Amino acid sequence: MLPCINWLQPLLALISSTLLTRANNCPSSCLCPDHHTVDCTGQGLTTVPDSIPLDVRRLLLSNNWIPWIPSDFLVLYSDLVYLDLRNNSLSQLEPGTLTTSSRLVFLDLGSNNLTDIPSGTFGESRSLIKLRLGNNPFLTMVDRDAFTGLSSLRELELDRNGLTELDVSVLESLPSLRMLRLEGNPWLCNCQFAKLFAWLTENRHKLPNMEGIECSLPMDGRLVPLSLLSDESFRECRGALTLTDYLIVIFSGISVSVVAIMASFFLASTVHCFQRLSKGSKGDEEDGND
């Protein structure tokens, strides 16, 4: 037993030394003004630095050329609360990248090349309070479950993107939301926008720049500020059916048809059985009379 312990001691010392060194060292291209802050702003980085201290709490990576983040990037940085990735070249986020960021409070992904925010992007980041996703000109889709689990999110920025529509359930899933920015998107004033407009009207106190939100008319593409619209502007949509409604109608019609066919078959079978029984009874009576 003693030789094993003597053999393990140098190995444990090496591991401890490696972890301690990584926890205290500052990346060569960055600044570390205190023990918990790493500032790599504007260093022309194309990848995330490797030697980031394990106990980092504020990580500043803005104004670089970083195109992607490894999916296991945040696994080791359990104390991280502030992450700034603004003005990089991010086009997508790997699934699960942010699911382990249990203490993350601030996340800035603005001014990148993001194209969509799929479901489960942020996992269960229940500590996240402020999320910046503005100034992503190619961002055209936000999945209806993209922000599910962000129960503490208070500020959400989706301004100056390429959004033409947004499922209102995206916003209804944020119980703590206090501030929302949506201006600068090419919204379309169609029936799909009607539900979002109703939500925005009801929650206008959460919009610091309601006057800056515009949508284009379907007929001529003319931009109209939301402040000039009302519920009556979408009165033609009250009887309009959505794709979901059409699917429900179609499914209901098919179901009714199937039930009707089965009922007809059952009724015909029943009548046929009664007819056979009746013929059998008559035959027996005739035999008895003979």
pLDDT by 10s per residue, the chain, length 290: 445 445 545 444 444 434 444 446 899 989 999 999 999 999 999 999 988 999 999 999 999 999 999 888 888 898 999 999 999 999 998 777 777 667 999 999 999 999 999 988 887 788 999 999 999 999 999 999 999 889 999 999 999 999 999 999 999 999 999 999 999 999 999 998 999 999 999 999 999 998 899 999 888 889 999 888 888 878 888 764 454 444 443 454 555 555 556 766 666 666 666 666 665 555 555 555 55
Read off φ and ψ for residue 204, nearest 5 degrees: -65, -20
Q: Where are the domains of the chain?
A: 31-185, 186-256
- In the chain, % helix, strand, coil (3-state, to 5) comes to 35, 15, 50
Q: Identify the pLDDT of residue 5.
A: 46
Angle at CA of residue 63, ends 61 and 64, nearest 5°: 75
Who contacts 99 (Cβ-Cβ below 8 Å, separation ≥6)?
120, 122, 123, 124, 125
| Closest listed residue to residue 47, CA positions, set 67, 26, 76 | 67
Q: Identify the pLDDT of residue 102.
A: 74
What's this model's pTM, rounded to 2 decimal places? Answer: 0.74
Angle at CA of residue 92, ends 188 and 101, nearest 5°: 110
Q: Identify the pLDDT of residue 71.
A: 80
Q: How far is CA 189 from CA 168, 202, 216, 225, 226, in A?
A: 15, 17, 6, 10, 9
Distance in Å from the first CA to the final CA of the chain = 108
Q: Identify the pLDDT of residue 275.
A: 64
| Closest listed residue to residue 151, CA positions, set 181, 118, 123, 132 | 123
Q: Is the CATH number of domain 31-185 3.40.50.720?
A: no
Structure tokens that stand for 209 in this block = 């720049």
Q: Are the beta carbons of 161 and 139 closer than 8 angstroms?
A: yes
Q: Identify the pLDDT of residue 289.
A: 54
| Closest listed residue to residue 82, CA positions, set 68, 100, 101, 65 | 101
> What's the gap between Cα 84 and its chain centre?
19
Read off φ and ψ for residue 59, nearest 5 degrees: -120, 115
Angle at CA of residue 194, ends 188 and 199, nearest 5°: 115
Task: Give dist(CA 48, CA 50) in Å, integer.
Answer: 6
Structure tokens that stand for 240 in this block = 């309009």
Q: Identify the pLDDT of residue 54.
A: 92
